[in-house]
Amino acid sequence: MKDFASYYDTQFSESEETGSIYEPFTVMLEAAHGARINILSQLDVGDLSDKVVVDFGTGSWGFACVFEKLHHCKMAIGIDISAHAVALSEEKSRNGNFAYGDRFKYLVSDGIKIPLEDNTADVFFTGECIEHVENTDAFLDEIHRVLKPGGTLILTTPNPHPWFYRLFGLEYAVGPEHIALMGYDELNSYLEPRFVVKTWQGYNSSIHPELDSLVASPAFAATWASACVDNPRDACGFVVMAQSRPDYQPRSFERSTYRLTSPSVQRIGDWVELPIHKDLSAHMTKAGGEFTLKFSGDQLVVLLWTHDWSGIAQVMVDGESREVDLYSHFGGFRRVVFRGLASETEHQLRVRATGRKNNLSNDDQVLFFTASSFQTR
């Protein structure tokens, strides 16, 4: 499905059902969609006629709908977190006239565990999806495990820190489904131990949230969309092609998730449960509010809610303290990750509202969503 209007209409209708926030249709978004497809179409994936290809995050649009080269494979495997979306994609594959014919199957996974055997896939594509997965280490380890030695990973993802947004102190692509947005350096730090990057390119989908809807010229939008193709660090989105390192040993991750209502949480001060989006809620406190949580595992992922009433939180694990500015122009998640904790021992998380805030914020609220501990095996 290359047609942007059809793709956008499907994506928007699903956002109403699943609780996503997507940007209003703009000429800029259409140009970015075309730029991303153009970059993907020029990647050298080789002859896929005897290859197994995975599309993770296929949604309801069918296998690799933005990456037609991948259709010419021996076996097409589509995966998504939503069983409903998987069913719709399976129907599209069954009723459509695609190059992979009847050689397809669909699976459900949230990315922490992928239901495929080791060394299954030759190519693993995940388009606009890695930012939806809570634990990037776990997801990339699973991709490495599923890929055959020297297999190919291709991913696209938004960059929260494009150049023009940095100038105004804003973040791009913040939203309730994007729990793991990563800039160039952070994403590269996760990729580098596991994969050798062969290609890293960028595309633009925005200038500024208050300017995008004013762009009416498709020619201007197309020029802006491709302006950072060779400068991905400053772009709105990344396209990465990489090869798995044969000497890396992937791990499995066991997850435990905590809310403020979990028995192991001890609270101080006033906490109020507030709706943040659709059926999602978080617990809010202000100056003087804090909680502690005892947990085990060698990694912790804390999800806090950001919006224009958010202040600065202190997040501490075993004495390692970080101050996290939760202000954002849009409502969304801020992920705080603690890695390399001592295994099989008890740790303590402390989250505290400092009472301070960004000058742009309307208040000093701190909203806690979840904390997930992971034990690697």
User: If residue 195 lies in a helix (H) or strand (E), which one and from where to where?
Assistant: strand 195-203
pLDDT of res. 13: 35
pLDDT of res. 17: 32
Cα dihedral 199→336→114→101 (10° resolution): -50
pLDDT of res. 103: 98
Hey, what CATH topology would domain 4-244 get? Rossmann fold (3.40.50)
Question: pTM score, two decimals?
Answer: 0.92
User: d(Cα 253, Cα 374) in Å, to the nearest integer?
Assistant: 6
Asked if 78 contacts 106 with a C-beta cutoff of 8 angstroms, the reply is yes
Region of residue 271 (phi > 0: left; psi between -120 and 50: alpha; otherwise: beta) = beta
Q: Closest by alpha carbon to 163, among 88, 93, 227, 113?
A: 227
Q: Which CATH number fits domain 253-376: 3.30.2020.30, 2.40.50.140, 2.60.120.260, 1.10.10.10?
A: 2.60.120.260
Beta bridge partners of 67: none
Environment class of residue 24 by beta-carbon count within 10 Å: exposed (0-12), middle (13-18) or buried (19+)?
A: exposed
Q: At what angle do helices 4-18 and 27-41 cross, to 10 degrees?
A: 110
Beta bridge partners of 266: 292
Domain boundaries, the chain: 4-244, 253-376
Per-residue pLDDT of the chain (377 residues; tens, 9 = 90+): 444 344 344 443 333 332 333 445 689 999 999 999 999 999 999 999 999 999 999 999 999 999 999 999 999 999 999 999 999 999 999 999 999 999 999 999 999 999 999 999 999 999 999 999 999 999 999 999 999 999 999 999 999 999 999 998 899 999 999 999 999 999 999 999 999 999 999 999 999 988 999 999 999 999 999 999 999 999 999 999 999 999 999 999 999 999 999 999 999 999 999 999 999 999 999 999 999 999 999 999 999 999 999 999 999 999 899 999 999 989 999 999 999 999 888 999 999 999 999 999 999 999 999 999 999 98
- In the chain, what is the straight-line distance between the N-terminal and C-terminal CA atoms, in Å? 40
Q: How far is CA 60 from CA 11, 86, 152, 268, 324, in A?
A: 8, 6, 24, 44, 35
Q: Closest by alpha carbon to 193, among 135, 242, 156?
A: 242
pLDDT of res. 18: 29
pLDDT of res. 24: 52
